[in-house]
Amino acid sequence: KQEVTQIPAALSVPEGENLVLNCSFTDSAIYNLQWFRQDPGKGLTSLLLIQSSQREQTSGRLNASLDKSSGRSTLYIAASQPGDSATYLCAVIDYNTDKLIFGTGTRLQVFP
Amino acid sequence: GAGVSQSPRYKVAKRGQDVALRCDPISGHVSLFWYQQALGQGPEFLTYFQNEAQLDKSGLPSDRFFAERPEGSVSTLKIQRTQQEDSAVYLCASSVTSGGANEQFFGPGTRLTVL
């Protein structure tokens, strides 16, 4: 059974720092990996989608890498801003299903 | 519409009541998913539709939970005889077609509180 773990569970940093959020999964047979952002009381906003054949994806200050063989992904946030404060969730799609399997998230707070 | 919409956004039910949660996917999206998110946890899969066919309902926690998508667009998640443990945010997502390579787009969720 696929399990997804995110470390750290919570992170509080001053504005301007570069951040790394970690995601690991137990079964490397995945279709893709998706990073989401969730603001309090809101739904999920997709940030980056990495196909299983890809190594990384970039969008603005965000960069996500995928090492399928070791079961790891990292989300790199450059020059963090208070507006980045949210919970970040990673999720994988198993090779034989279409459903997303989520980690429990990293709650990020960026203070001015 | 421009995105996935869900209604109601908030629902308070007394224990034992039946509730119905609605999801309007992005127009033309073939696949539709329901997830349940407990407080402080990541979302967990409930069920999956491809058009009107319910292909996977392995995540439904009990036979009190029922989902349908009769015309392959709007979907309804029904919970009968609600219990306190049903309190959660129910998220709906859609993707353009079937196949695990496709990005899923989420609605804002319905926050269900069972008293």
* pLDDT in the model for residue A14: 96
Q: Which residues of A touch B21 (CB under 8 A)?
A: none
Count the neighbouring beta carbons within 10 Å of the beta carbon of residue B103.
13
Whether residue B103 has pLDDT greater than 90: no
Residue B10: both structure tokens together: 């908030």
Specify whether the CB–CB gap between A101 and A91 falls below 8 A: yes
**Mean pLDDT of all residues belonging to chain A:** 93
**Closest residue, chain B, to A100 (C-alpha):** B45
Under an 8 A CB cutoff, do B109 and A43 touch?
yes
Kindly state whether A83 is in contact with chain B, defined as any CB-CB distance less than 8 angstroms. Answer: no
Residues A45-89: tens digit of each pLDDT: 999 999 888 999 999 999 999 999 999 999 999 999 999 999 999
Residue A16 has pLDDT above 70, yes or no: yes
In angstroms, the separation between the Cα of residue B8 and the nearest Cα of chain A is 13
Residue A30 buriedness (CB in 10 A; 0-12 / 13-18 / 19+): buried
Chain A CB contacts of B56 under 8 Å are 97-99
**B35 and chain A: CB distance < 8 Å anywhere?**
yes
Q: What mean pLDDT is predicted for residues B46-51?
A: 94
Percentage of chain A surpassing pLDDT 70?
99
* Residue B1 confidence (pLDDT) above 80: no
Residue closest to A99 by CA, chosen among A47, A39, A30, A27: A30
User: A93: which chain B residues are within 8 Å (Cβ-Cβ)?
Assistant: 100-101
